[in-house]
């Protein structure tokens, strides 16, 4: 009877809340009235975060999860202002955790197997077509799943929706029943089979599974056990046996000492997951060393003051209006976000400016351009950076950029990397093709990523719709493992997208001065809605580096029937157009 009474009271409270929207959040519900000794959102992470324990009433948790999901799913929620973090303390839960926009699901154990969800943590389509082409901005991390809702865990997503440190005790499906447009998975174990289905491209790093089934355009496996067999281009598979160097993304844990952040040790030449191997070099940092930012009370001034005091920063869920850039000058600084914390430029400023120092870590943020034009949104290193950081590199994980979409925005570039020895692990840089403030003269953005530093590495780089080069690489010894890019949809005329006698802009540009560069699994796609654009090349490099660009694919998706990509790289490779939609090179 207590369970029924508690559930009834929770439903009444939820209904009385009226809305979980911009003006009011269901965080205002006083869950402690449920005769439970715990509150769902009474934690150090603020009112937009919910912390669950296995002793709590599962029906009450499920009702809350369903209510949140209903407000965070569907087209109407793609640019909502709500941000949500769901935390599960160690233990076993019987739940169906449906994941929508701006929802992040975290286990708080030291191992993924410390938090077990019997049921599902899943992302599915809200469309009749079953497409998940816009299932963005969500994630699941550091937990185990036993699928009982569907025959497999369904993680139907596209960009900015990673799986990390997940143990699926069964099968995993990377689509729903329609199209999907690319994704990222790292440090995961799937006991059964992974079904890629209509997933167009996917990057898996340091992951284990029994089998992989399917493949469309560009699927990369790096440091993965039981990768599928096949020879490019007959099969769309790129297999790199080992990951040469990586430090897995930090993760929050909860134990008798409270909350802390675990930072895995860097590893070389790795295969499979990190968490089944004991590492004495992992570092644990108390959250007392962090300034916990709150979107309602903090701004650029208060956060910069905390940085000057030597604090790391943890952005709790919310949208932060930033009128000045955050200055990171201390080696070892950590800038982290939970619940898809979003930082928006308001005065044409960059959001983050990182000095040329060792071992900075940035993760878990959405960074938005504002209406006043910015030169860039994130800068790593000074213009004349020259220090060798190979012993203590900087890592950037799951950082996403938007120029337009939630609002009108403009930036010359999203990220400029001047420092040497920087690692980018899953990033989506997006000039919006839909949403608010979208148009050739509205959300202006020349480049997504500009790399000037040497020895910069990207694992999973997604860049779309910028008005010049999507990626401009000026540094030496760069490496890119998996690249997914769409050229701009909204080019108004052929003349508007030409330069120096060249038709269009290559998506992937390695500048003429570069002498060492390598990339694997490079996919470039086009949709030109308006003009009969003829792009000369998808990729441009110095001629001496052509052989270092491995497994390339171009695809004509749709658009003006006379548009095309003429060549894949440096006037080599077949044309793609309305009659020949796909081309590949080794």
Bin 130: left if φ > 0, else alpha if -120 < ψ < 50, else beta. left
With a CB cutoff of 8 Å and minimum separation 6, the contacts of 67 are: 14, 20, 26
The CA angle 12-14-16, to the nearest 5 degrees, is: 70
Alpha helix positions (H), 284-340: 300-308
* Residue found by looking up tokens 């020949």 in the block: 580
Nearest CA-CA partner of 524 in 479, 444, 481, 582: 582
DSSP strand pairing (498-499 vs 502-503): antiparallel
* Residue found by looking up tokens 């160097």 in the block: 245
Q: Do 379 and 402 touch, CB atoms closer than 8 A?
A: no
> Which residue is catalytic, options 375, 486, 562, 574?
486
CA distance readout (Å), 478 to 384, 505, 520: 18, 21, 12
- Dist. CA 457–CA 450, nearest whole Å: 13
Q: Is 304 exposed, middle or buried (0-12, 13-18, 19+ CB in 10 A)?
A: middle
Q: How many residues does the chain have?
A: 586
CA distance readout (Å), 318 to 49, 368, 519, 534, 563: 10, 13, 36, 42, 41
What residues are paired with 327 via a beta bridge? 353
- Dist. CA 95–CA 459, nearest whole Å: 32
Nearest CA-CA partner of 175 in 214, 148, 147: 214
Q: What is the three-state SS of 341-388?
A: CEEEECCCCCCEEECCCCCCEEEEEEEECCCCCECCCEEECCCCCCCC
Residue 236 per-residue DSSP state: -
Helix axes 58-72, 2-16, angle to 10 degrees: 20
486 is catalytic: yes
- Dist. CA 350–CA 330, nearest whole Å: 18
C-alpha 409, offset from chain centre: 20
With a CB cutoff of 8 Å and minimum separation 6, the contacts of 256 are: none
The CA angle 19-25-31, to the nearest 5 degrees, is: 105
* Residue found by looking up tokens 């071992």 in the block: 359
DSSP string, 246-268: E-PPPEEEEETTEEEEEEPPPEE
The CA angle 91-95-96, to the nearest 5 degrees, is: 140
- Dist. CA 415–CA 412, nearest whole Å: 9
Q: Please measure the distance between the N-terminal and C-terminal CA atoms of the chain and give it in whole angstroms.
A: 66
Write out the catalytic residue numbers.
486
């Amino acid at each position: 009877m207590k369970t029924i009474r508690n559930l009834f009271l929770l439903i009444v409270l939820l209904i009385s809340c009226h809305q979980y929207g911009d003006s009011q959040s269901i965080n205002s519900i006083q869950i402690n009235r449920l005769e439970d000794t715990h509150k769902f959102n009474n934690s150090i992470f603020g009112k937009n975060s919910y912390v669950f324990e296995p002793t709590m009433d599962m029906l009450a948790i499920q009702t809350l999860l369903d209510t949140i999901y209903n407000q965070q799913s569907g087209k109407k929620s793609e640019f909502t202002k709500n941000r949500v973090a769901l935390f599960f303390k160690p233990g076993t839960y019987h739940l169906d955790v449906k994941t929508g926009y701006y929802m992040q699901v975290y286990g708080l154990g030291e191992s993924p197997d410390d938090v077990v969800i019997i049921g599902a943590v899943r992302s599915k389509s809200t469309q009749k077509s079953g497409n998940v082409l816009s299932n963005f901005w969500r994630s699941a991390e550091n937990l185990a799943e036993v699928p009982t809702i569907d025959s497999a865990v369904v993680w139907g997503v596209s960009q900015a929706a990673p799986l990390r440190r997940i143990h699926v005790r069964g099968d995993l499906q990377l689509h729903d029943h329609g199209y999907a447009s690319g994704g990222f998975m790292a440090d995961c174990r799937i006991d059964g089979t992974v079904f890629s289905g209509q997933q167009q491209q996917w990057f898996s790093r340091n992951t284990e599974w029994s089998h992989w089934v399917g493949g469309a355009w560009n699927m990369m496996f790096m440091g993965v056990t039981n990768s599928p067999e096949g020879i490019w281009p007959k099969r769309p598979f790129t297999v790199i046996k080992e990951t040469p160097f990586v430090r897995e993304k930090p993760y929050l844990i909860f134990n008798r000492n409270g909350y802390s952040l675990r930072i895995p040790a860097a590893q070389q030449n790795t295969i499979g997951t990190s968490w089944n191997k004991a590492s004495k070099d992992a570092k644990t940092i108390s959250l007392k060393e962090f300034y916990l930012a709150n979107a309602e009370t903090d701004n650029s001034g208060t956060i910069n003051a905390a940085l000057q005091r030597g604090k790391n920063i943890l952005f709790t869920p919310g949208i932060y209006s930033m009128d000045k850039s955050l200055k990171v000058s201390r080696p070892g600084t950590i800038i982290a976000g939970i619940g898809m914390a979003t930082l928006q430029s308001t005065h044409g400023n960059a959001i983050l400016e990182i000095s040329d120092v060792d071992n900075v870590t940035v993760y878990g943020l959405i960074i938005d351009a504002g209406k006043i034009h910015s030169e860039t949104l994130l800068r790593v290193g000074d213009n004349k950076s020259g220090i060798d950081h190979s012993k203590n590199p900087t890592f950037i994980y799951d950082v996403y950029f938007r120029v337009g979409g939630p609002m009108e925005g403009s930036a010359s570039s999203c990220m400029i990397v001047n420092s040497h020895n920087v690692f980018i692990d899953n990033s989506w840089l997006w000039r919006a093709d839909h949403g608010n403030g979208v148009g050739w003269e509205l959300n202006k953005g020349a480049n997504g990523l500009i790399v000037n530093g040497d020895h910069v590495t990207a694992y999973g780089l997604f860049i779309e719709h910028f008005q010049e080069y999507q990626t401009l690489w000026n540094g030496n010894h760069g490496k890119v493992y998996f690249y997914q890019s769409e050229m701009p949809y909204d080019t108004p005329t052929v003349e508007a997208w030409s330069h120096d006698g060249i038709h269009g802009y290559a998506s992937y540009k390695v500048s003429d001065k570069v002498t060492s560069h390598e990339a694997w699994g490079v996919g470039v796609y086009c949709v030109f809605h308006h003009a009969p654009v003829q792009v000369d090349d998808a990729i441009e490099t110095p001629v001496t580096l052509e052989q270092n660009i491995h497994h390339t694919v171009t695809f004509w998706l749709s658009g003006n029937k006379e548009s095309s990509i003429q060549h894949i790289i440096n006037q080599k490779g077949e044309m793609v157009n309305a009659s020949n939609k796909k081309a590949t090179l080794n």
